[in-house]
Copies of this chain bind each other. A is one copy, B any other.
Amino acid sequence: MYKIEQIEGGVCAATGFFADGISAGLKLNNNKDMAFIYADTLCDIASTFTTNKMAAAPIKHFKAKGEFKTNFVLINSKNANAMTGIAGLKDIEEVLSHLPSQVNNPVMSSTGVIGVRLPKEKLIAGLAKFDLSQKNPTAAAQAIMTTDSFKKEIAFKVTLSDGSFFHIGAMAKGAGMINPAMATMLCFITTDADIASLKMQKILDDTVMTTFNAASVDGDTSTNDTVMLLSNSKSGAFDESAFEDALYQVMEFLAKQMVKDGEGATKLVTYKVTGAKSDDEAEVVAKALSNSLLVKTALYGEDPNWGRIASTVGASGAYAKEETLTISFDNVCVYEKGNLYFNAELEPKAAAIMKKDEFTIYCDLGLGNGTFTAFGCDLGYEYVKINADYRT
């Protein structure tokens, strides 16, 4: 057995990790726009990146290094360093060359506007403001925000049955959640768990599938999406189940925070799909629902228009039948295997659920044992406003 407690400290919660965020002048009004994570010993790295064919320069730079350990991550917002070719890679090298000598194999991560060269003079000047002994995780979490309306960080202490314990902390950014994967998400996780480096990547990959990817569409990702896990093993403590559980809680929390912060979003909706012919088919349906504009706008209008749910299920490509489908909003069943329950009595009950900030839409396809849960938000006027004016 083990115990997981939420604690303060974000990416600095684990022993030996430091972080801060400063203003390098990329954002207006001295808002923070550059952050670091520093570790006082070299860390193992596990990572997942965008599948976008136009992956940004920092991702290419990371991948070109092959196997390595690092003790430093530099992150900037406001400029994605994407579609910048060889010049973008050289810009990274130049910026990183100005780091102090205790930094080893530094990596960089960027988010912001695509197709503009990195303002490297500003970044290099900003490096002088860094103090690697600082533990300001919240400043770092603020510095990586773009259209996010709030910073996203979390940390847990995990105590094992023998009394030993380790920490795991993280920060993330991401808010363009209409099709979640289409706006950049960054997530940096630090831990002092004594995890074997070979296990880290597999556990990270598995957890991404049920958290960040549950709020997204495979293969349809931004140029800069990055999830990175750094481990320094300093605690000496480890238990695989406990670590998996804690990592899941970290990433699920951050994924839900991103959906809640969806541009202009007012609701967090969970889509629980069951009864599909397979888990893959359930995933197709759940993601089709969480990405459907007609569903999202109905959510915003707080209109229990379950016909759009049914139509989206039918259009998803997964096997589905009118005669076996059941749809519920929380505990209110609006359609069951051909029975139109929707009447003057039921509609207000369903409408009341639609007014909640968080609720669940259940879709049972009635065909098999496949299940998947996805997270989504509504689409309101603010989304249009934010995205129509993004660069200005």
Binding site for B on A (CB under 8 A): 51-55, 80, 82-86, 113-117, 176, 178-179, 181-183, 219-223, 292-294, 297-298, 300-301, 303, 305-308, 310-323, 325, 335, 338, 340, 342, 379-381, 383-385, 387-392
Asked if residues A315 and B387 are in contact (CB atoms below 8 Å), the reply is: no
- Cα(A114)–Cα(B308), bound, Å: 7
Among the interface residues A86, A325, A384, which one has the most CB atoms of the partner chain B within 10 A?
Answer: A384
Asked if residues B115 and A303 are in contact (CB atoms below 8 Å), the reply is: no
Asked if residues B311 and A85 are in contact (CB atoms below 8 Å), the reply is: no
- Cα(A98)–Cα(B374), bound, Å: 47
Asked if residues A305 and B52 are in contact (CB atoms below 8 Å), the reply is: no
Chain B residues with Cβ below 8 Å from A83 are: 307, 310, 322, 335, 340
Among the interface residues A311, A318, A379, which one has the most CB atoms of the partner chain B within 10 A?
Answer: A311
Determine the residue in chain B with the shortest Cβ distance to A297.
B387
Q: Show 20 residue pairs from A and B whose CB-CB distance is below 8 angstroms, ordered by the A residue.
A: A53-B313, A55-B314, A80-B307, A114-B310, A115-B340, A117-B340, A176-B294, A219-B315, A220-B316, A221-B315, A297-B387, A297-B388, A300-B388, A301-B389, A301-B390, A303-B388, A303-B389, A305-B390, A381-B381, A384-B384
Determine the residue in chain B with the shortest Cβ distance to A317.
B219
Asked if residues A182 and B293 are in contact (CB atoms below 8 Å), the reply is: yes
Among the interface residues A53, A222, A297, A379, which one has the most CB atoms of the partner chain B within 10 A?
Answer: A53
Copies, count: 2
Chain B residues with Cβ below 8 Å from A116 are: 307, 340, 342
Which 5 pairs, one residue from A and one from B, show the smallest C-beta to C-beta distance? A114-B307, A301-B388, A54-B314, A297-B387, A53-B314
- Cα(A215)–Cα(B178), bound, Å: 21
- Cα(A316)–Cα(B320), bound, Å: 26
Interface of A is mostly: loop
Minimum Cβ distance to chain B for residue A145 (Å): 18
Minimum Cβ distance to chain B for residue A302 (Å): 8
Q: Contacts A301-B390, A384-B300, A390-B303 known; A311 to B379 CB distance under 8 Å? A: no
Minimum Cβ distance to chain B for residue A150 (Å): 21
Chain B residues with Cβ below 8 Å from A388 are: 297-298, 300-301, 303, 380
The one of B117, B183, B297, B312 in contact with A383, judged by C-beta atoms closer than 8 angstroms, is B297
Determine the residue in chain B with the shortest Cβ distance to A57.
B322
Chain B residues with Cβ below 8 Å from A115 are: 306-307, 310, 335, 340, 342
Chain B residues with Cβ below 8 Å from A312 are: 182
Minimum Cβ distance to chain B for residue A212 (Å): 15
Asked if residues A294 and B335 are in contact (CB atoms below 8 Å), the reply is: no
Determine the residue in chain B with the shortest Cβ distance to A223.
B311
Among the interface residues A292, A315, A390, which one has the most CB atoms of the partner chain B within 10 A?
Answer: A315
Chain B residues with Cβ below 8 Å from A298 are: 387-388, 390
- Given contact pairs A113-B305, A182-B294, a sample of 9 additional A-B residue pairs in the complex whose CB atoms are under 8 Å apart: A52-B311, A53-B315, A54-B315, A54-B320, A54-B325, A114-B307, A116-B342, A297-B383, A305-B390
